[in-house]
Structure 1
Amino acid sequence: MKGHLYRFTIEHIEDKQGNSLALSPLTFEARNHDDILNIVEVMKGKMALDETDATAFAVGLKLFGEVMLKNSKNELFKQFRPHLNNFMKELKKT
């Protein structure tokens, strides 16, 4: 598969009670047809979200969307695709 290759590292820093955690990070690589870093920068100025929320939203949406495209024959994704397409059209208008 062609596309940009990214490495993601997620560290669980503290639990919901605020206790520090010393767990191994989750690291994985994923390809995406879009430049996610550029999209994050664009999203920071597009929506009424703070920088952290805009970043999390953009990265999550791009990862989800790419998995959906890659697995387009999955029945669950087939049902959801029209909704995501409509959402993306509205997002691009902002």
Structure 2
Amino acid sequence: MKGHLYKVTLEHIEDAKGLPIDDNSLQFEARNHDDIFKIVEMIKIKMDLEEADAVAFAVGLKLFGEVMLKNRDVELFKQFKPHMTDFMKQLKKL
């Protein structure tokens, strides 16, 4: 598959009670047809979100969307596709 290759790292820093978590992380590589860094910058400019929220939203959306595209035959994704298409159209209008 062509596209940009990213390494994603998620570190669990503290639990729901605010207690520190020692050495718990996920790391994986993911491809995406878009430049996620450009998308993040666009979301920061176009949406009235705190910076951390804009980054989390953009990265999460792009990772989710690419998994949906890659696995378009999964029934749950088939059912969700029209909603995702509408959402992306609205997002692109901003």
User: Same-fold call, TM > 0.5?
Assistant: yes
Q: 5+ unaligned residues in a row in structure 1: which ranges? A: none
Provide the rounded CA distance (Å) in 1 between the counterparts of 2:29 and 2:81: 24
Provide the rounded CA distance (Å) in 2 between the counterparts of 1:42 and 1:86: 19
Provide the rounded CA distance (Å) in 2 between the counterparts of 1:31 and 1:71: 13
Runs of 4+ that moved beyond 6 A: none
Displacement of 1:81: 0.3
The amino acid that maps onto 2:32 is N
SS at match of 1:17: coil
SS at match of 1:77: helix
For residues 36-55 of structure 1, the aligned pairs below 5 Å read 36-55=36-55
Matched length: 94
Provide the rounded CA distance (Å) in 2 between the counterparts of 1:20 and 1:79: 39
Q: 5+ unaligned residues in a row in structure 2: which ranges? A: none
Identity of aligned residues (%): 67
| Superposition TM-score, scaled by structure 1 size | 0.97
For residues 13-52 of structure 1, the aligned pairs below 5 Å read 13-52=13-52
Q: CA RMSD in A?
A: 0.6
Displacement of 1:23: 2.4
Provide the rounded CA distance (Å) in 2 between the counterparts of 1:25 and 1:90: 34
| Residues 16-50 of structure 1: CA deviation (Å, up to 9, x unaligned) | 11101112321000000000011001100111101
SS at match of 2:34: coil
| Superposition TM-score, scaled by structure 2 size | 0.97
